[in-house]
Structure 1
């Protein structure tokens, strides 16, 4: 996805953006975070310990273990993320955007920190902490990373309730949720869309309409009904999110009885999305352009 020098650069930029969100919105409005950053923020609130230094100290033992278990490439990227967040969280302490509306602060915090973390994760890097623990437990115990990360965040949020209060914990959960959604968007990229499968007796009419009205390609798959044993043609088509309604309208106009399923596609690469269009010969009066 990115060449190695660009990966290091993206991790640094992601760390900077994340730190701006951390200081500018979370800490400025006395909100909390999850994982090891959340623990560092709580120690700041209670004992006035620097977030950057605390975060770095907490991660050093885990980085040593990870070096032995997962190799230098993973550790280098993770260490860069850890050091980046540690350094930038101290350098950006002057960025404070307090507001009387903590919900607004949580929303902005989630967006900004999500962009930063998304850039880091998109390169294959991490910010250490809970991610390293999750990888270690998966390697040693076979535990799922998602469950481990969720369990650690639950522990941190429980600490937030005890130390700061329930209301802060609830707003912090909003920030975590928004951040997770933004991370997904950044990792998946703008090239996401919908995959549509259509089963219809009028499949060629639908194919023709999609080609001519949307200029999108389709694929015909041969399928056999498990109950009837009949062979049918299944139309498979990938479109942008904005084109879904137009495809549904075409299907309804051609065959209202068609069986349709629509599913998310998190990343699309190829003609019509990430490559330039390639003109192809007309086939049976249907295809004008390969996409």
Structure 2
């Protein structure tokens, strides 16, 4: 790392420790973990920001290079915005912010404020890109518009999710309603998009609505490819010698329930097996970026296995509430 940046991180860590310990002297052993934590946080933040930037410009290209010039629509909040753009005098950039705003407010309550802030930044960036950046109109062939417009829009949505945010807020609504109504996220998204496509068929034309379905399918498959599925939950297995610290981070910091398996390693330094705890937890894929950041702060060499969970029933799935301290 750059020496100037390293010195800056050390200074920040020392200031944080002084605030916590007031007049107690700060030892190097206390500074090192905080410096490492800041380094991991900064590295992950830059990576996530890069994903969001790529996602915003890709989605902008799908909208202005394909869908918008040809009066096509898509599913989700973007489809609602495109639909209103076709029947009102408002610009698409303004509509993207207005339509997504209620979903972001919902996200701040159901997922977290940090996620909501990143999402509103990403949506605002997309609105600015759509308004100010000039993309060439690639084709007038309706089939190519539907397929490749959906592809670039799906790529943008997927990359933004990899960055820990969304540029289409209907998924947040789907997560919320899925929990309330005991439906899968796919079922809720399907119902939302049926309403959008029906409105498109009535306001524009049946042909436009049919092409919109094709656009949505192309976008959904691309998102599926980029973020390994449109399912709501991801099962995460963590194997590390620092399992106690990881368990504490999950239960206290992220307020997530986890299961501990008693395990034995099959390969050790002396060739003998050794005891270790194996942690298993389930998170939403929107929380995955945050979880990976926190794991790296504790143990960068932790062995992590992630698998898509298509459906869940029972158990502690929601984030555990904070207990009042008296």
- TM-score normalised over the length of structure 2: 0.54
- Counterpart CA distance in 1 for 2:72 and 2:80 is 12
Work out whether residues 107 and 178 of structure 1, in 8 Å CA contact, stay in contact via their aligned partners in 2: yes
Offset at residue 266 of structure 1 (A): 8.7
Work out whether residues 78 and 168 of structure 2, in 8 Å CA contact, stay in contact via their aligned partners in 1: no
Root mean square deviation of aligned Cα: 2.5
Q: Which residue is 1:10 aligned to?
A: 51
- Counterpart CA distance in 2 for 1:24 and 1:84 is 17
Post-superposition CA distance 1:4-36 (Å, at most 9, x none): 221022112201110111111001122111111
- Counterpart CA distance in 2 for 1:98 and 1:48 is 24
Q: Which residue is 1:87 aligned to?
A: 128
Q: Which residue is 1:43 aligned to?
A: 84
Work out whether residues 28 and 98 of structure 1, in 8 Å CA contact, stay in contact via their aligned partners in 2: no
Larger Rg over CA atoms: 1
- TM-score normalised over the length of structure 1: 0.60
Offset at residue 140 of structure 1 (A): 3.5
Q: Note closer, same or farther for the CA distance 1:165–1:7 as it changes in structure 2 (3 Å cut).
A: same
Q: Note closer, same or farther for the CA distance 1:173–1:73 as it changes in structure 2 (3 Å cut).
A: same
Work out whether residues 188 and 266 of structure 1, in 8 Å CA contact, stay in contact via their aligned partners in 2: no
Q: Note closer, same or farther for the CA distance 1:68–1:107 as it changes in structure 2 (3 Å cut).
A: closer
Q: Which residue is 1:69 aligned to?
A: 110
- Counterpart CA distance in 2 for 1:122 and 1:69 is 19
Q: Structure 1: 5+ residue runs without aligned partners?
A: 190-264, 268-291
Post-superposition CA distance 1:110-155 (Å, at most 9, x none): 2211221221122332124211211222344433221111111111
- Counterpart CA distance in 1 for 2:169 and 2:65 is 22
Q: Structure 2: 5+ residue runs without aligned partners?
A: 1-42, 230-305, 309-326
- Counterpart CA distance in 2 for 1:63 and 1:188 is 23
**1:179 maps to which of 219, 225, 234:** 219
Is residue 2:196 matched to residue 1:156? yes
Q: Which residue is 1:248 aligned to?
A: none
Is residue 2:113 matched to residue 1:78? no
**For this pair of structures, how many residues does the alignment match?**
191
